[in-house]
Structures are given as C-alpha cells and as structure tokens.
Amino acid sequence: MQVIPVIDLKNGLAVRAVQGRRQYYRPLQSRLCASPEPQAVLQGLLRLHPFRCVYLADLDALTGQGNNRAIIQQLLAGFPALEFWIDQGWTPAGAEISANHVPVLGSESLSEAHLPQLSARRQSAVLSLDFFGEDYCGPPGLLDRPQFWPERVILMTLARVGSQAGPDWRRLDGYMERHPQTRWIAAGGVRHAEDLRQLAQRGVHAVLLASALHDGGLSADGLPGGT
C-alpha cells in the first residue's frame, strides 16, 4: 500500500486542513519544517520518508478564489522524480503541466456533462468521490455508474480530515465490497501505524494523509518500508 502525503495550498502557503471547513484553514505548523512555504513542507516530508508521490490540493482554485498555479509549476519542475496528484478542479485531457502531473478530478468539481470525458481517462487521471459528512458532493449519476470511473478512486471523507477520528471504515468497506475491481485510495482520519496496518489488510491501494505526519502520530518507523 502506498502512502501519499497531502499538501493543501491556500494563498501561496501550505495550510492545515480541518474537517473540510476551508474558511478556517490556517498556515501549517509542523514538526517537519520551520515554514509553511510549500517547498519547505515538501522537503520536510522527504526528509522523513522517501515518498514517491505527493498530493497537492489547490484550495483557491477549488473555491474560485484565484489559484496557486505558479507554485505548483515550481514544485513539478523542482522535483521531477516525484509524481504529483493535483486537485485543482476539472482538468481537461491533455492539459497536464508536465509528465509527473496526474490530475485528480474531484466529484465536487464535476457535472453530469463531464462524465463521458471521465470514462476516457481510466489510466491518466484519479477520481475523488467527495463526501461532506454523510452527504455526497457531485453529480448524482456518478456514484451509481462505475463505468465512468478511472481505475483509481479516492474515497474522500472531508469531515475526517485533520480530525484524529480514524478512517471511515464503514464507507470504505462498503465501496470496496461493491466494487472490488477498483483501486481504492482512503482519505481522511488516519492517526497512526495501526490504521495503516488495517487499511493494508483490507487491500486498500493507497492512503492520503497529512496531520499524522506533521503531528508525529506517524513516525518514519511507522511508514511502509520504515526502519
């Protein structure tokens, strides 16, 4: 199972995500770095563990309040060996910035009109099914039509992000049982190495996390391949 650290970008800085309440996100304070500058945060993460993939969420682009495109371009160019999953709203096919850019297409940014285009990107993009509490956010037809899904799908439970509440086991187990062919990525609530162990045991393909890394709930020893 792959562990993918998340960097949320807002107003040019990395911020701490709190249960999807984006208006309350503040610049990141972390044991891994002295600054919330995105490059400093990324370097701190890489000192902790040789991550191969990083998830970037451009919160300004997602909320229609500008974007962090210049910073994202700098990170893509500065770390060419890393794969970056980038969530910045709908990204048309062929609009990737570079070879190490994998678009994340969040359901909160999609409409019914996007679904036929989504099905043509089974390997080139990642879908995120976004849930705010029990409420799904996205085009209604997407949840029940897996023929439109790419191979990799994130189950994003925003109310669990930064909550230390643990993963959303019920939702994750239900979707994995109904759609075993999908490569599922868990997101939200991971606290410690035991959560990672249980996710791997369930057959989860990858997991997105941030708070457990920055707060010390997960040390280098607790990460896959740690010593």
CA neighbor of 12 nearest in space, from 59, 54, 45, 64: 59
E strand intervals along 19-134: 26-27, 53-58, 83-87, 101-106, 126-132
Do strands 13-16 and 2-10 pair parallel, antiparallel, or not at all (unpaired)?
antiparallel
- Give the model confidence (pLDDT) of 31-56 as tens digits: 999 999 999 999 999 999 999 999 99
Q: Is 5 exposed, middle or buried (0-12, 13-18, 19+ CB in 10 A)?
A: buried
- Give the model confidence (pLDDT) of 163-199 as tens digits: 677 899 999 999 999 999 999 999 988 999 999 999 9
> Among all chains, which residue has been given the structure tokens 């990395």?
14
Measured CA to CA, the distance from residue 12 to residue 37 in angstroms comes to 8
- Give the model confidence (pLDDT) of 60-114 as tens digits: 999 999 999 999 999 999 999 999 999 999 988 877 889 999 999 999 999 999 9
Q: Specify the pTM.
A: 0.93
Q: Identify the pLDDT of residue 227.
A: 41
In a domain, 171, yes or no: yes
Q: What mean pLDDT value characterizes the chain?
A: 92
In a domain, 181, yes or no: yes
- The CATH number of the domain holding residue 201 is 3.20.20.70
Cα radius of gyration (the chain): 16
In a domain, 73, yes or no: yes
Contact indicator for 36, 27 with CB cutoff of 8 Å: yes
In a domain, 34, yes or no: yes
In a domain, 227, yes or no: no
Residue 74 domain boundaries = 2-222
In a domain, 8, yes or no: yes
Q: How many domains does the chain have?
A: 1
Q: Tell me the three state secondary structure of residue 9.
A: strand
